[in-house]
Amino acid sequence: MIPVLLITIPLLAGLATFFIRDEKAARSWALLASLLTLGCAVAGITFLKGAANLEAHAQWLPALGAQFSVKLDGMGQLLCLLTAVSYPVIFLGTWKATYANAKNFFALMLLAQAGLMGVFLSMDALLFYFFWELALIPMYFLCSTWGGDKRIRVSFKFFIYTFLGSVLMLIGILYVYGMTKDQSFSINSFYNAGLSNAQQNKLFWLFFIAFAIKMPIFPFHTWQPDTYEQAPTATTMVLSGVMVKMGVFAVIRWLLPVLPLASYAWGDVVTTLAITGMIYASLIAIRQDDLKRLVAYSSIAHIGLMCAAIFSETESGMQGVMIQMFNHGINIIGLWLVVEMIERQFGTRKISELGGLAQKAPAMAILLVIVALANIALPLTNAFPGEFLMFNGIFSSTVTQYYLWFTVLGGLSIIFGAVYTLNMIRKVFYGESNALTAGAQDIRWNEQLALGVIVILILWLGVCPQTLLNTVQETAHSILNKADVLPYIRKH
Amino acid sequence: MFQLLQSGLNGTGAGSYLPVVIQIIFAVGLVAFLMVVTHMLGPKRKTTDKLQNFSSGIESHGDARHPMAIKYFLTAILFVLFDVEVIFFYPYAVNFKMLGWNGFWAVMLFVAFFLCGFIYIIKKGALKWED
Amino acid sequence: MNALLLSALMGVVMMFSGIVLKSKAAIRNIAIAGMLALLLVNILEMNGTVFLVIDSKGMIGFDRFALLFNSIIFFSTFLYLTLSARDMEKVGVNYAEYLALIFFILCGIALVSSFRSLIILFLGIEIISIPLYILTGSDKLNLKSNEASLKYFLLGSFSTGLMLMGIALIYGAKGTFYTSGINMVNGAISPLLIAGMLLLMFSMAFKVSVAPFHFWTPDVYDGAPTVFTSFMATIVKAGVFIAFIRLFDEGFASQQPKWKLIIAILTAATLLIGNITAVFQQSVKRMLAYSSIAQAGFMLLSVYAMSPDSKEGLILYAAAYCMATIGIFAVLIKMSDYTFDGFNGFAKQQPLLAAVTTIFLLSLAGIPLTAGFMAKFYMIKAAMYNSGLLWLPILALVMAAVSVSYYFRVIQAMYFRESSTPSTLTVTPAFRYTLVALAALVVLLGIFPNLLLAWLYF
3-state secondary structure string, A352-418? HHCCCHHHHCHHHHHHHHHHHHHHCCCCCCCHHHHHHHHHHHHHCCCCCCCHHHHHHHHHHHHHHHH
Closest CA to A169 of A97, A251, A101: A251
pLDDT digits (tens, 9 = 90+) for C356-372: 999 999 999 988 889 99
Is the pLDDT assigned to residue B130 strictly greater than 80? no
Cβ–Cβ under 8 Å, residues A23 and A103: yes
Residue numbers of the domain that contains C386: 255-458
Residue A86 CB neighbour total at 10 angstroms: 25
Under an 8 A CB cutoff, do C369 and A62 touch?
Answer: no
Cβ neighbours of C385 in A, within 8 Å: 178
Count of pairs with CB atoms under 8 A, one residue in A, one in C: 67
Identify the helix (H) or strand (E) that includes residue A60: strand A55-61
ipTM for the assembly: 0.89
**What is the predicted pLDDT for the residue at B5?**
45
Distance of CA C287 to CAs A183, A206, C221, C294, Å? 38, 30, 10, 10
Q: B45 by DSSP, 3-state: which?
A: coil
**What is the predicted pLDDT for the residue at A484?**
77
Which residues have a Cβ under 8 Å from the Cβ of A490 and sit 6 or more positions away?
none
Q: How far is C302 from chain A (nearest CA, A)?
A: 16
**What is the predicted pLDDT for the residue at B12?**
56
pLDDT digits (tens, 9 = 90+) for B42-98: 887 778 777 777 767 777 677 777 777 888 888 888 889 888 888 888 888 888 888
Is the pLDDT assigned to residue C427 strictly greater than 70? yes
Enumerate chain A positions whose Cβ falls within 8 A of a Cβ in C: 60-63, 129-130, 133-134, 137, 141, 144-145, 151-152, 156, 159-160, 163-164, 167-168, 170-171, 174-175, 177-178, 202
Cβ-nearest to B120 among C16, C187, C191 = C16
pLDDT digits (tens, 9 = 90+) for C378-388: 888 888 887 66
Closest CA to A26 of A132, A83, A103: A103
Same-domain check for residues B33 and B76: no
Q: Which residue of C has its CA nearest to A151?
A: C416
Cβ–Cβ under 8 Å, residues A203 and A259: yes
Cβ–Cβ under 8 Å, residues C68 and C214: no
Q: How far apart are the first and last CA of chain A?
A: 45
Q: Which among A312-321, B29-38, C449-458 has the top mean pLDDT?
A: B29-38
Decide if B61 is inside a domain: no
**What is the predicted pLDDT for the residue at C360?**
94
Residue A409 CB neighbour total at 10 angstroms: 18
Under an 8 A CB cutoff, do C390 and A175 touch?
Answer: yes
Q: A290 by DSSP, 3-state: which?
A: strand
**What is the predicted pLDDT for the residue at C346?**
85
Cβ–Cβ under 8 Å, residues A323 and A458: no
Cβ–Cβ under 8 Å, residues A317 and A390: yes
Q: How far is A59 from chain C (nearest CA, A)?
A: 11
Cβ-nearest to A171 among C362, C397, C450 = C397
Distance of CA C238 to CAs C127, C300, C406, Å? 15, 11, 22
Cβ neighbours of B116 in C, within 8 Å: 12, 15-16
Is the pLDDT assigned to residue A80 strictly greater than 50? yes
Average pLDDT on A201-227 reads 87
Decide if B63 is inside a domain: no
Average pLDDT on C292-313 reads 88
> Chain-wide mean pLDDT for chain A?
85
**What is the predicted pLDDT for the residue at C69?**
92
Average pLDDT on C265-281 reads 92
Q: How far is C400 from chain A (nearest CA, A)?
A: 8
- Of the residues A11, A126, A166, A174, the best mutation for testing chain C's interface (the one with the most C CB atoms within 10 Å of its CB) is A174
**% residues pLDDT > 70 (chain A):** 98
Q: C303 by DSSP, 3-state: which?
A: helix
Cβ–Cβ under 8 Å, residues C33 and C90: no
Q: How many domains does chain C have?
A: 1
Biggest distance spanned by C-alpha atoms of chain A: 72
Closest CA to C432 of C317, C285, C338, C334: C334
Overall residue count recorded for chain C in this entry: 458
Q: Is C190 on the interface with B (CB under 8 A)?
A: yes
Residue B1 CB neighbour total at 10 angstroms: 6
Cβ-nearest to B13 among C12, C19, C190 = C190
Residue-wise burial string across A94-106, b where 16 or more C-beta atoms lie within 10 A, e elsewhere: bbebebeebbbbb
Least reliable range by pLDDT among A420-429, B50-59, C412-421:
B50-59
Q: How far apart are alpha carbons C86 and C426 in whole angstroms?
A: 13
- Of the residues A170, A173, A207, the best mutation for testing chain C's interface (the one with the most C CB atoms within 10 Å of its CB) is A170
Under an 8 A CB cutoff, do C381 and A62 touch?
Answer: no
Residue-wise burial string across A379-396, b where 16 or more C-beta atoms lie within 10 A, e elsewhere: eebbbbbbbbbbbbbbbe
Chain B neighbors (3+ CB pairs < 8 Å): C
Under an 8 A CB cutoff, do C190 and B124 touch?
Answer: no
Chain C neighbors (3+ CB pairs < 8 Å): A, B
Which residues have a Cβ under 8 Å from the Cβ of C438 and sit 6 or more positions away?
C79, C83, C323, C326, C327, C356, C360
Which residues have a Cβ under 8 Å from the Cβ of C151 and sit 6 or more positions away?
C216, C219, C220, C223
Cβ neighbours of C388 in A, within 8 Å: none
Decide if B131 is inside a domain: no
Cβ-nearest to B102 among C15, C55, C192 = C55
- Of the residues C16, C94, C95, C146, the best mutation for testing chain B's interface (the one with the most B CB atoms within 10 Å of its CB) is C16
Q: How far is C41 from chain A (nearest CA, A)?
A: 29
Cβ neighbours of B14 in C, within 8 Å: 191-192
**What is the predicted pLDDT for the residue at B7?**
45
Average pLDDT on B8-20 reads 66
Q: Which residue of C has its CA nearest to A127?
A: C368
Q: How many domains does chain B have?
A: 2
Residue numbers of the domain that contains B93: 70-124
Decide if B8 is inside a domain: yes
Q: How far apart are alpha carbons A138 and A144 in whole angstroms?
A: 10
Reported pTM: 0.89
Q: How far apart are alpha carbons C122 and C203 in whole angstroms?
A: 11
Decide if B94 is inside a domain: yes
| DSSP code, position A47 | T
Under an 8 A CB cutoff, do A133 and C450 touch?
Answer: no
- CA torsion sign, C279 to C282 to C283 to C289? negative
Crossing angle of helices C64-84 and C308-334, in 10° steps, is 10
**What is the predicted pLDDT for the residue at C371?**
92
- Of the residues C10, C15, C169, the best mutation for testing chain B's interface (the one with the most B CB atoms within 10 Å of its CB) is C15
Overall residue count recorded for chain B in this entry: 131
- Of the residues C404, C443, C458, the best mutation for testing chain A's interface (the one with the most A CB atoms within 10 Å of its CB) is C404
**What is the predicted pLDDT for the residue at B14?**
65
Is the pLDDT assigned to residue B6 strictly greater than 70? no
Cβ neighbours of B120 in C, within 8 Å: 15-16, 19
**% residues pLDDT > 90 (chain C):** 55
Is the pLDDT assigned to residue C185 strictly greater than 70? yes
Q: How far is C42 from chain B (nearest CA, A)?
A: 22
Query: Per-residue confidence at C321, pLDDT binned at 50, 70, 90?
Result: very high
**What is the predicted pLDDT for the residue at A454?**
87
Cβ-nearest to A137 among C367, C380, C450 = C367
Cβ-nearest to C368 among A129, A151, A160 = A129
**% residues pLDDT > 70 (chain C):** 99
- Of the residues A67, A160, A167, A202, the best mutation for testing chain C's interface (the one with the most C CB atoms within 10 Å of its CB) is A167
**% residues pLDDT > 90 (chain A):** 6
Decide if C269 is inside a domain: yes
Decide if B57 is inside a domain: no
Is the pLDDT assigned to residue B2 strictly greater than 70? no
Cβ-nearest to A163 among C404, C412, C448 = C404
Identify the helix (H) or strand (E) that includes residue A198: helix A197-214
Whether residue A219 has a cis bond before it, omega within 30° of 0: yes
CA dihedral C279, C283, C289, C295 (to 10 degrees): 40
pLDDT digits (tens, 9 = 90+) for C24-52: 899 999 999 999 999 999 999 988 888 88
Query: Per-residue confidence at A396, pLDDT binned at 50, 70, 90?
Result: confident
Q: How far is A182 from chain C (nearest CA, A)?
A: 15
Q: For residue C53, with 0-12 CB atoms within 10 Å meaning exposed, 13-18 middle and 19 or more buried, which class applies?
A: exposed
Residues 64-103 of C with CB under 8 A from A: none
Cβ-nearest to A160 among C397, C405, C453 = C405
Which residues have a Cβ under 8 Å from the Cβ of C341 and sit 6 or more positions away?
C413, C417
CA dihedral C188, C192, C196, C197 (to 10 degrees): 20
Decide if C438 is inside a domain: yes
| DSSP code, position A217 | -
Instruction: Determine A/B contact with 3+ CB pairs under 8 A as the test.
Output: no
Cβ neighbours of A168 in C, within 8 Å: 394, 397-398
